Structure 1
Amino acid sequence: MKHSTENPDICNRDDLVDLLNAFYAQVLNDPIIGFYFTDVVHFSLAEHIPKVADFWTAQLFGSLNYQGRTFETHLALHRHTAITRHHFHRWLHLFSTSIDARYAGVNADALKHRAQTIATSMATALSKQATTLGEAEGIFIPPAIQHQEYSASSRATAFSNCAILVV
């Protein structure tokens, strides 16, 4: 792939932190996957980004600093609120465009390739797991609606008022 001379390559963990800050700024406001980070899991970017930076530093540079359990964390989330292939496609699109906007080079390409491999593998593995709420693939039911009793007609109205987005 031909690389722009305007953008540097990803060279270290600091570059990954920079990338992740830009990426999560998009994710938090994304109409398709943002709800995972704002409505489903409440987390601190100040705590999350260093962990994710350690993960990607391990993936890209072979660092041994990452101590998390990536699949188990996503499985627990999936069991609560289904994570579908559509969600992984959106995540991958935002991640790749964040990389392309800031970086170009061998490491940037390697990071995009590794992200695609991981996303595909995780989406496949999670698709074989049941969710505890039994929600339909690709549908997010806002917490305010999940725990209320509705008649069939009022539930249909509630769903029509929700933005259900599938890529």
Structure 2
Amino acid sequence: MHSDDKVDIASREELEMLLRLFYQDVLSDPIIGFFFTDVIAFSLEQHLPRVIDFWAQILFGESSYQGQLFERHQHIHQQAKLSQHHFSRWLHLLNNNIDRHFEGLNCTKMKTRAARIAESMAAALEQKSPSNNPRTGVQFFTP
């Protein structure tokens, strides 16, 4: 796809296309792929609608996302430690897929929000202990 052919992410269908390409990379990635193939029972077809809802809420103002973002990652972290390195790799793969296939304001918004989420999630998991509130200072939906 030439740069001139790229469009902004403007629909759920485009989000699905982007996220399917992203998860192809994630699942085969030597750094983070094992979380999806060995640590958790992962089904792309079950996971994808939730992730599309999550990003549609951020990008398009939809209110269909009902997940528990931090709690899901906390569960994974308890089985195999998630580090800043893992979140950085996730962010790199996401940004790479966005840049390869799309460009525009929603792309920038998605990359900016993803960076904030990765940073917040890594920090929250790093300082999480049984006596701490896992939500303290963590805001995943801030504008």
Instruction: Indicate the residue corresponding to 2:120 in structure 1.
Output: 121
Instruction: Indicate the residue corresponding to 2:136 in structure 1.
Output: none
Instruction: Indicate the residue corresponding to 1:75 in structure 2.
Output: 74
Instruction: Indicate the residue corresponding to 1:37 in structure 2.
Output: 36
Secondary structure, counterpart of 1:53 in structure 2: helix
CA–CA separation in structure 2 for the residues paired with 1:93 and 1:68:
23
Query: Tell me, which stretches of 5 or more residues in structure 2 are unaligned?
Result: 131-143
Instruction: Indicate the residue corresponding to 1:101 in structure 2.
Output: 100
1:2-151 alignment to 2 at 5 Å? 4-129=3-128
1:130 shift after superposition? 5.0
Cα deviations across residues 22-57 of structure 1 (Å, max 9, x unaligned)? 000000000000000000012211111111000111
Overall identity of the aligned pairs, in %: 48
RMSD: 1.2
CA–CA separation in structure 2 for the residues paired with 1:6 and 1:127:
41
CA–CA separation in structure 2 for the residues paired with 1:23 and 1:56:
13
Asked whether the 8 Å contact 1:79–1:130 carries over to 2, the reply is: no
TM-score by length of 1: 0.74
CA–CA separation in structure 2 for the residues paired with 1:42 and 1:62:
30
Q: Greater Rg, structure 1 or structure 2?
A: 1
Asked whether the 8 Å contact 1:37–1:43 carries over to 2, the reply is: yes
CA–CA separation in structure 2 for the residues paired with 1:53 and 1:74:
17
TM-score by length of 2: 0.86
1:129 shift after superposition? 2.1
Cα deviations across residues 80-114 of structure 1 (Å, max 9, x unaligned)? 11000000000000000010011001111111011
CA–CA separation in structure 2 for the residues paired with 1:74 and 1:17:
21
Secondary structure, counterpart of 2:113 in structure 1: helix
CA–CA separation in structure 2 for the residues paired with 1:42 and 1:101:
29
Secondary structure, counterpart of 2:109 in structure 1: helix
Asked whether the 8 Å contact 1:17–1:53 carries over to 2, the reply is: yes
**Matched length:** 128
